[in-house]
Amino acid sequence: MAGEKPEPQEFSGFSGSFALIGRKLVTTSRQNSLIMAEKVIFFDIDGTLLNTGGAGQRAMERALNEEFRIEFPFQGVLTAGRTDRGITEEILERHSFDNTPENRTRFRDAYLDQLPGSLQDSPGLLLPRIRELLEQLATHSHVTLSLLTGNYAEGAWIKLRHYELDHFFQFGGFGDHNAHRNDVAQAAIAAASAQLNRTVDGADAMVIGDTPADIQCAHAIGAKCVAVATGVYSSSELEPHNPDHLFEDFADTDQVVNRILAVL
Ligand SMILES: [Mg+2]
């Protein structure tokens, strides 16, 4: 699929084999005690890293209008924290279209065609000091940055490339195949295990996101969670869902990195 990241290169030698993933060297030998990437931080995208200014939803609206003649598809539809698969299924069913693989693919392809142009037309933005946060976290060799998002995989990479953040990430869990975010979280853990050539479980992971659904999916996989109130939910709306830490935003990079590493 276009937009997917290349497979890691495998190397053999010394006492074990190694996978070169991005710029990180990860041991794959159980006997080797040198494990440089011990923790995985899964980032949500919309409302956490960036705000497309509605570009994603407008691309979906155009796709639904052109392909299915559906007008105002998002009236009464919650989108924050949900997966693209789940949103698509709800809208198709609300408008009496069969929720079939053919209709879902027809919508997805039309949306992905619309998305780059919609992002170009949008006054979207990176959220406060996100680039600095990712740059600092990427310097810690025991941390691997990853994605846990409701976006279609290709939509996620299109958005990240538009904002020049794609190089920070190599893999993740995406919203193509699961209507529920908890299932995306399980897929993200499986992707991490496959990419890092070791068993990754929730105790090795943190989810960072902007909605109650992000916090709930972290709990579902036994991961730590840092929530941030830069999306549509306020800190007082997020706090009752019991994240391990909650930020208004990520503007104070040093404090945020220290707290993330302490919680992790
Ligand atoms: Mg979000």
CA–centroid distance, 37 to ligand 1, in Å, is 25
CA–centroid distance, 27 to ligand 1, in Å, is 32
Per-residue DSSP letters for 160-213? Answer: HHHTT-GGG-S-EE-SSS-SSHHHHHHHHHHHHHHHHTS---GGGEEEEESSHH
- Report pLDDT for 118: 97
- Report pLDDT for 50: 98
Tokens 């539809």 locate to 77
How far, CA to CA in Å, does 189 sit from each of 2, 39, 88, 217?
22, 11, 24, 11
- Report pLDDT for 5: 46
Bridge-partner residues for 40, per DSSP? 144, 205
The ranges of the chain with pLDDT < 50 are 1-37
CATH superfamily ID and name for 30-51+126-263: HAD superfamily/HAD-like (3.40.50.1000)
Report how far residue 222's alpha carbon sits from residue 202's, in angstroms, rounded to the nearest whole number: 5
Q: What is the pTM of this model?
A: 0.85
CA–centroid distance, 170 to ligand 1, in Å, is 19
CA–centroid distance, 214 to ligand 1, in Å, is 7
Q: Of 186, 187, 228, whose CA–CA distance to 211 is shortest?
A: 228
Report how far residue 166's alpha carbon sits from residue 174's, in angstroms, rounded to the nearest whole number: 14
For helices 101-121 and 153-162, the axis angle rounded to 10 degrees is: 10
Element (H, E) at 21: strand 16-21
Tokens 């956490």 locate to 48
CA–centroid distance, 215 to ligand 1, in Å, is 11
Helix and strand totals (H; E) in the chain: 9, 11
Q: Of 16, 19, 23, whose CA–CA distance to 200 is shortest?
A: 19
CA–centroid distance, 75 to ligand 1, in Å, is 19
For helices 181-196 and 212-220, the axis angle rounded to 10 degrees is: 60
